[in-house]
Structure 1
């Protein structure tokens, strides 16, 4: 293939961004796969994320097979595998990152407009067919919802692989509770490849030079060229205009799209792939759901061939049967972490049997009928919570979104509710899974700060309550309140004799006996991975460290709503 490094792309304000272009040797016009993001196009996947690369190659040998892997980079396509299929691959270093100068302002409208201009540049090059698709994982996926909403004329499709849509609800504040993820992500993954680090940054393999520009800036200049994204979030406890500006107008997303979600993507890249898929105005849209680590299936033969069939159809006009595929492509999860692929026609599934299980504080059970007597149970918020359980008498598939209706009281003016949906085998061992970026994750998570309990009635659904998060309504200590908690989508087939549990507590989930491994880059991420809620300024002990009481029984009895899937007549 022809490899062109540091190709200049001039955007509308005169800034010159730098891109690597990989294209077929034969003359012709080819469709383009383009990615735009801050992780430095010159940084090899293995150099930046050695544990992730090693584990992926060991566990999925089809990933490195058929490629020299010389051009592998974090969360973007391997050009060797795509150029050989007659595509052009373009990687653009976003403004202020890698080889592109400017000010880094993560997820800003400025970045979205830059990506728009890059698409339009790619669409008119002599080697381009005029059809451009955006592709990539995480940051490279998040951008796509908003760029697509601007409707660049040459954008023909998007492949959004594990990319959030709602920055507030899916990254900054889960249920109104601040997540400290960005506090670690920004300095470790973005600032380390800021343009101008020069000699202080890693060296790339292709040219043996800094992945972050040839010039070495002073600390003062580097600081001036970077908007402190973490502090921007800290200053905003509510869903305000800042977050609205960083959400796509989904009514304007009309291009064909493939949205790849991860069942284990709690805390960042699960909810958004589903919500944006549902909200997008595209006539041609597909939702794919899978498991395992965040980056794996973008690169495996399974994921790559799925993307190829989709892109061949919409960028090359191939009559390959893609348009006949049902719009929901899911890998249904089982306790031994095997997955059964199944195609469905809608989300949530039309045949879902919405099943209410009622909480009973008198014996800590989940029951099919409301309790006949009132009861309550109290827990210390910063210590162990309370689990409500039921033993299933028959195999039960739970696939889809869920929610919980609780009645609580607190001895303080607020309470953070952490809900964990869990499964245990007959010996009491938790059935856990490899998450997107953690090695031990439960079936599902949900969060809510009680003072953010107000609902948007028009946007709420029984299985997905919607909280506007625009104000705080403190609790009166000791007074009872009804609250609705969203539980992110999940999939699990539970064998008979296994126990289903709903745990309510006041802190992040941790697996039993968890001992953090501080040496490994990725294996140390267990439980909730980097998506913790432990900012002492957001959760002062005097407000969130008291006791919380769960009340059960009575009118509108507290319950969890689960998407139980009966066996398909076609199976």
Structure 2
């Protein structure tokens, strides 16, 4: 059970659409108001707030309520339109949903128990709600602390590189929303919640429907203080949004990228009261109570460096002292891994007149996506994918910032998919892993027919694809494809290697739940890496002292 020593009372407000919106209000029991407010909004039913924060209940993303009550805050938990006790149509992360949150903020802010200062709280969907409400600019919303939440619904998770998500969409929509409403006696047809899956599948391009569900496009009008907190372990779902959100907003802002690896660890980190005491509570104290502390004196960006087990900081993102380093793909064997090709990565530009890697799919040995199993039943995630691996590093090297894979590719089909992964391969156990066990440090995706880039938002190290039309490939023609890699920070120590993986589907084990629809892909793709086609992996590298 959630340990909250007060009972909430329900408030209602008639939203601008005429729908009745409802929220539960928790007030401190040991002091008199008025209080500043932290408000969380989700489709996860405030009636389920009694459930403990636990990985089996992934929707318990609201944070430690009692901690905020004990520190003199009111906590407001809102059911979004069409969910729980709120009326209307469920239209996730739409601008209309943001406007409904806006209306609730303005209602609770003028209540006798409120000081009028409202901040927003919560992770994942609660974070989506924060970005979404902030773009509508409620006058009483003074700050948000956006922990682990996307901003561009199309690019961040619905259609990675134009490739439709399958695994997460179904587990989230059915497991956290529809089935939970049914269990609580609310038919999931109420509020048209069942229609959402059809809407997603009906909009495979970044059209107006998608844009209305992407706060990204309006965040440049947000001027309130924003604390954006990303988590490396949920990179395939939310991380891009935390970086882009931080970049787009125009008010006082800070960025923190925390260390937990994996979905469950990211959830548990947010459940930790000490994390809230150290990071979130001081931010709210400063921006909602006006207390003087050091939160605004922190560096602009703080981030955990994978492979080093340490946090570092910079005055901007990417760090101003980072510059691109290129690793060129080559066909010669690295001798480091058993894979389809065991290719190499080299800092020397290619000089061969012809060098290429061809492979056919679907692979007859694939068992769980691209994963195969050895004779002992141990999964191997790279044996049947294409890999390119560096020699052992001759010194410690830190790669922090953005990355891009420029790949020259052809196919005998009219389209091809690229699933790209970069891993750190430790030489020993200093990085906290078994010798040679990979640590995934970044990844990216691209459907070649979506290769067109938006020149206004694209940069040398960060392609921004339009996803506005389908441009089929001509079989046999070589195309230059640029794959955006998610932000990263890792230390490759002397003796470590960097491995690039390229395939066209997920491991249903290593990549769950962020897996994609495979479809009917059958064909042969060729990756070109010769003098005329210098395919390369480029990563931001920071200078390090190797004394």
Does 2:534 align with 1:528?
no
1:328 to 301, 319, 324: 301
Structure 1 residues 316, 79: CA separation in 2 closer, same or farther (over 3 Å shift)? Answer: same
Structure 1 residues 263-272 or 83-92, which shifts more?
Answer: 263-272
Does 2:202 align with 1:235?
yes
Does 2:32 align with 1:27?
yes
| Pairing 1:430-441 to 2, within 5 Å after superposition | none
In the TM superposition, what is the alpha-carbon distance from 1:418 to its structure 2 partner? 0.5
1:287 to 252, 255, 264: 255
CA distance in 2, matches of 1:334, 1:312: 34
Deviation sequence 1:229-254 (CA, Å, 0-9, x none): 12111111111001111122012111
Structure 1 runs not aligned, ≥5 long: 54-72, 202-211, 434-438, 511-525
In the TM superposition, what is the alpha-carbon distance from 1:425 to its structure 2 partner? 3.1
Structure 1 residues 4-13 or 118-127, which shifts more?
Answer: 4-13
Does 2:268 align with 1:296?
yes
CA distance in 2, matches of 1:502, 1:428: 21
Does the 8 Å contact 2:232/2:257 carry over to 1? yes
CA distance in 2, matches of 1:375, 1:431: 37
1:18 to 19, 22, 31: 22
| Pairing 1:366-381 to 2, within 5 Å after superposition | 366-373=345-352, 374-381=354-361
CA distance in 1, matches of 2:402, 2:179: 37
| Pairing 1:545-564 to 2, within 5 Å after superposition | 545-555=522-532, 557-564=534-541
In the TM superposition, what is the alpha-carbon distance from 1:224 to its structure 2 partner? 6.4
Deviation sequence 1:455-479 (CA, Å, 0-9, x none): 1222111221111011111111111
Deviation sequence 1:385-414 (CA, Å, 0-9, x none): 211111212122122211110000111111
SS state at 2:266 partner: coil
| Pairing 1:22-421 to 2, within 5 Å after superposition | 22-25=26-29, 26-44=31-49, 46=51, 49=54, 51=56, 74-180=60-166, 181-194=168-181, 197=182, 200-201=183-184, 222=189, 225-226=192-193, 228-248=195-215, 249-282=218-251, 284-292=252-260, 293-300=265-272, 301-334=274-307, 339-363=309-333, 364-373=343-352, 374-383=354-363, 384-390=384-390, 391-421=392-422
Structure 1 residues 332, 483: CA separation in 2 closer, same or farther (over 3 Å shift)? Answer: same
CA distance in 1, matches of 2:438, 2:87: 39
RMSD, aligned α-carbons: 2.6
In the TM superposition, what is the alpha-carbon distance from 1:304 to its structure 2 partner? 4.0
TM-score, normalised via structure 2 length: 0.86
SS state at 1:268 partner: helix
Structure 1 residues 393-402 or 403-412, which shifts more?
Answer: 393-402
CA distance in 2, matches of 1:184, 1:441: 25
Does the 8 Å contact 1:266/1:528 carry over to 2? no
In the TM superposition, what is the alpha-carbon distance from 1:556 to its structure 2 partner? 5.8
Structure 1 residues 432, 185: CA separation in 2 closer, same or farther (over 3 Å shift)? Answer: farther
Does the 8 Å contact 1:360/1:371 carry over to 2? yes
Structure 1 residues 245-254 or 147-156, which shifts more?
Answer: 245-254
Structure 1 residues 13, 414: CA separation in 2 closer, same or farther (over 3 Å shift)? Answer: closer
Deviation sequence 1:103-151 (CA, Å, 0-9, x none): 2222223211110011101210111111100111111101222211211
Structure 2 runs not aligned, ≥5 long: 334-342, 364-383
TM-score, normalised via structure 1 length: 0.83
SS state at 2:238 partner: coil
Matched residue, 2:372? none
Instruction: Tell me the matched-pair count.
Output: 501
Does the 8 Å contact 2:300/2:314 carry over to 1? yes
Structure 1 residues 106, 378: CA separation in 2 closer, same or farther (over 3 Å shift)? Answer: same
CA distance in 2, matches of 1:158, 1:257: 5
CA distance in 1, matches of 2:529, 2:267: 42
Give every structure 1 segment of 4 or more consecutive aligned residues whose post-TM-superposition deviation is greater than 6 Å. Answer: 427-433
Structure 1 residues 430, 37: CA separation in 2 closer, same or farther (over 3 Å shift)? Answer: same
Structure 1 residues 463-472 or 93-102, which shifts more?
Answer: 93-102
Structure 1 residues 95-104 or 367-376, which shifts more?
Answer: 95-104
Deviation sequence 1:304-363 (CA, Å, 0-9, x none): 42111111111111111112111112222226xxx3122321000011131011111244
SS state at 2:310 partner: strand
Does the 8 Å contact 2:87/2:191 carry over to 1? no
CA distance in 2, matches of 1:130, 1:224: 31
Structure 1 residues 309, 102: CA separation in 2 closer, same or farther (over 3 Å shift)? Answer: same
Structure 1 residues 272-281 or 17-26, which shifts more?
Answer: 17-26
Structure 1 residues 321, 356: CA separation in 2 closer, same or farther (over 3 Å shift)? Answer: same
CA distance in 2, matches of 1:429, 1:372: 36
Deviation sequence 1:193-215 (CA, Å, 0-9, x none): 33xx4xx42xxxxxxxxxx5xxx
SS state at 2:13 partner: strand
In the TM superposition, what is the alpha-carbon distance from 1:507 to its structure 2 partner? 1.1
Does the 8 Å contact 2:398/2:541 carry over to 1? yes
CA distance in 2, matches of 1:101, 1:176: 33
Does the 8 Å contact 1:134/1:158 carry over to 2? yes
